[in-house]
Amino acid sequence: MDNFITRRRRHELLVAAGLLVFAIVAPMFIKDVTTLNVIILSLLFAGLAQAWNILGGYCGQISLGHALYFGMGSYVSTLLYVHAAVPPSLGMFAAAAVGGLAALLVGWPCFRLSGHYYAIATVVVGEIGYLLFLNWDYVGGATGVYIPIARPSLLNLQFGKDKLPYLHLVLAFCAATWLAAWVIEGSRWFYAWRAVKDDVVAARSLGVNIFSSKMAAAAISGAFTGLGGAIYGLYVGYIDPDSVMAGHFSILIALPAVLGGVGTLWGPILGAALLIPMKELSSSYLGGSGRGVDLMLYGAMIVIVALAQPQGVVSLFRRRAHGPA
């Protein structure tokens, strides 16, 4: 099967490998902690947006409740470590399982709703989860949970003050989500999901099972989001519902994909590379109350992209698809 699609996919893999090598090596020469922090967060949200894109982009099920899977991932890995001494290097896989399971549980009733109603339902479910964790004493309630500081080790995924290992960990997460998306693009799911997104009635007339297609996308998306949550918890060392489960996380997970290009392979990474540095810079330069200002900047950016490049920033790099083939 040596055709234009195979060639394009091979090309994508080569570009990704090149970027990966660059992203492993380049930060070794960066000593500035703030810069490293921005890179870590950008990679994290690139991975999260890639995970969101599997459900929201490919399958067209807009979720505004991914903070729930993210937060549950952080809690699972942290609590397993605190209460059961399970090292986070294992706990993060439990976090992924729980994230995927949670997405399935949300999907079971909510995928019976179509279009905007699914999006609205995910907002509500996300808020319910946030309130539950806020009032649940076993998981620390509003006080949150500290991850006990251990001797730096790969098993505990603790590296003390050294940021570089965290960066490489988050990079591995980002690369894994990209690779998952790439594999999906070569599978029948990729076609079924986009058919579901474009026209449900036509899709099922061709033998595409709508419900299980959505559930499969949700499970993969939720699992990677839970994994990202676990890694984030390790990195910040302390979690509470506000820092891992608040509603704005759901938006922050979806935005890079929307900004970069919904349903595209490179959109989430591109969107995160633009959005997260801008967010971090604006909140550090525009003062302690800059939270509102950086949200205004997002808003402006989204409006500009929506007006000028509704397909996302990634479409700037694409050869014009509508010229003579």
Partner 1 sequence: MALLEIRGVSKSFGGVAANVDISFVVEPGEILGLIGPNGAGKTSLFNAIAGEVTPDAGEILLDGARVSGLGPVACAGRGIARTFQVVRSFDSMTVLENVMVGAFSRTASAGAAMKAAEETLEFCGLAPRAARLAWELSPPEKRRLEVARALATQPRLLLLDEMLTGLTPTEAQEGVQLVRAVRDRGITVIMVEHVMEIVLPLVSRAVVLNLGRVLTIGVPGEIVKNPDVIRAYLGDRYAAA
User: Considering beta carbons, is residue 57 or 88 the nearer one to partner 1?
Assistant: 57
What is d(CA 250, CA 263) in angstroms, rounded to the nearest whole number? 17
Nearer to partner 1, 204 or 291 (CB): 204
Measured from the CB of residue 190, what is the shortest distance to partner 1 in angstroms?
A: 8
**Nearest CB to partner 1, comparing residues 205 and 289:** 205
For the bound state, the minimum distance from the C-beta of residue 216 to partner 1, rounded and expressed in Å, comes to 14
31 vs 188, which CB is nearer to partner 1?
188
Q: Which of 69, 74, 28, 275 is nearest to 171 (CA)?
A: 28
Quick one: 203 or 234, whose CB is closer to partner 1?
203
Q: Give 162 or 199: the residue with its C-beta nearer to partner 1.
A: 199
CA distance 272 to 48: 9
Spatial separation of the C-alpha atoms in residues 165 and 158, rounded to whole Å = 9
Burial class of residue 286 in the structure, from the number of CB atoms within 10 Å of its CB (0-12 exposed, 13-18 middle, 19+ buried) = middle
Least separation in angstroms between CB 61 and partner 1: 15
Core vs surface per residue 93-113: b (16+ CB within 10 A) or e:
bbbbbbbbbbbbebbeebbee
Smallest gap from Cβ 6 to partner 1, in A, equals 8
Measure the CA angle with vertex 69, ends 169 and 73; round to 5°.
Answer: 45
Min. distance of Cβ 202 from partner 1 in angstroms?
4
User: CA 29, 230, 232 angle in degrees (round to 5)?
Assistant: 40
Categorise residue 176: left if φ over 0, alpha if ψ from -120 to 50, beta otherwise: alpha
Strands, DSSP E only, in the chain?
A: 145-146, 238-239
Number of Cβ within a 10 Å radius of residue 257:
29
Residue linked to tokens 């801008």: 278
Query: Based on CB atoms, which residue is closest to partner 1, 307 or 325?
Result: 325
CA 115 from centroid of its chain's CA atoms = 21
Least distance CB 195 / partner 1 (angstroms): 5
Residues that bind partner 1 in the complex, under the rule CB under 8 A: 1, 3, 5, 186-188, 191-192, 194-195, 197-199, 201-209, 263, 321-322, 325
- Minimum distance from residue 17 beta carbon to partner 1 (Å): 21
